Amino acid sequence: MRKRIVSEERLNNPVKCEVCGVLCKNYISLAKHLKYHHSLSSEAYYNQYLRKDGEGICPVCGSKTRFMNLGRGYRKWCSLRCHVNDPNYVNPFKGKKHKKESMRKMVETRRKNGSYKHSEETKRKLSEKLKGRPHHWIVLGMKGKKHSEETKRKISQKRRKFIERCLLIYGVKEPPYVTEKKIKKTLAQVCKRPNKFEKLVGEYLERLFPGRFKYVGNGSVLINGKSPDYIDEERKIVVLCHGLYWHLFRFGLEDTVENRRKIELKDAQPFIDAGYDVWFIWEDMTESIFKNYVKLT
């Protein structure tokens, strides 16, 4: 909570109400008096009785400035930009030097925040002290050193594999920095129970494969950072229920066989990498898929 700062003048100087002549303790008391006895806002009262000529207009751009209170009136400038660009404004601190005590505090703050530059002697001592530690500073530990060609090749190879995997799973070169704990927590709140479409799929699965498939769309099971809707752990099968809006129309894609195939390839990759078979069920073909399956069996 912000601390309210009130000047001595506003607290101790009695002020007379121009409407009824009552003497109020201070400007704060006057503002309350106007509100409850005259149904007047502080700004309306100030404009009628206290406002000076030209007050409330920015001298730089001519815009209306903000009203503060009865004791201080209107701001002189409408924004910080106008404040800085005003040719008549004189900075009271310009040309003045900091006191020794102020300088000492500034140096201490810089040291705490890490913005103070160390001397070469201090850097050397830190380097010697941290050398050999498993997690020493890279800046100090690697200064003046170069990786061998073999190390460079290994780093490049690992980085290339990492980027390829991210492109397959996430569609970008860097993974989204969200932990599995965060994903599980979000899914547990948003997808606590299956929606109407997922419930229908669950009923069909239970009818055709009794006791095999379990609903895990609430984040209880994560495979390579992705949560399937239903899973058969024994036979390593996952079922993904794809709604048309959430998987096509939301991204501005048309409902075509090609677009569906692209999304299926992308969404199936994390589960295929983990050794699972993936079944896709789209919203508009739920009943037809299961009816055909029943006829075939």
Query: Residue 54 domain-assigned?
Result: yes
Gap between the Cα atoms of 237 and 194, Å rounded? 19
Query: Residue 162 domain-assigned?
Result: yes
Gap between the Cα atoms of 206 and 212, Å rounded? 7
Residue 174's pLDDT band (boundaries 50, 70, 90)? Answer: low
Same domain, 171 and 72: no
> Which residue type, as a one-letter code, is found at position 47?
N
What are the tens digits of pLDDT across the range 228-247? 999 999 999 999 999 888 88
Same domain, 164 and 188: no
The DSSP code sequence of 55-92 is TTB-TTT-PBPPEEETTTEE-S-SSHHHHHH-TT---T
Residue of 209, 195, 202, 193 whose CA lies nearest to 286: 202
Checking if the pLDDT of 186 tops 50, the result is yes
Query: Residue 96 domain-assigned?
Result: no
The whole domain housing 267 covers 180-296
Same domain, 189 and 291: yes
Query: Residue 143 domain-assigned?
Result: no
Checking if the pLDDT of 145 tops 60, the result is yes
Gap between the Cα atoms of 168 and 173, Å rounded? 9
Average confidence (pLDDT) over 83-89: 84
Query: Residue 131 domain-assigned?
Result: no
Query: Residue 142 domain-assigned?
Result: no
Lowest mean pLDDT among 142-156, 217-231, 238-252: 142-156
Same domain, 198 and 184: yes
Average confidence (pLDDT) over 109-138: 69
Who wins on pLDDT, 168 or 268? Answer: 268
Who wins on pLDDT, 174 or 17? Answer: 17
Query: Residue 137 domain-assigned?
Result: no
Gap between the Cα atoms of 52 and 260, Å rounded? 70
Residue 190, SS3 per DSSP: helix
Structural domain count, the chain: 3
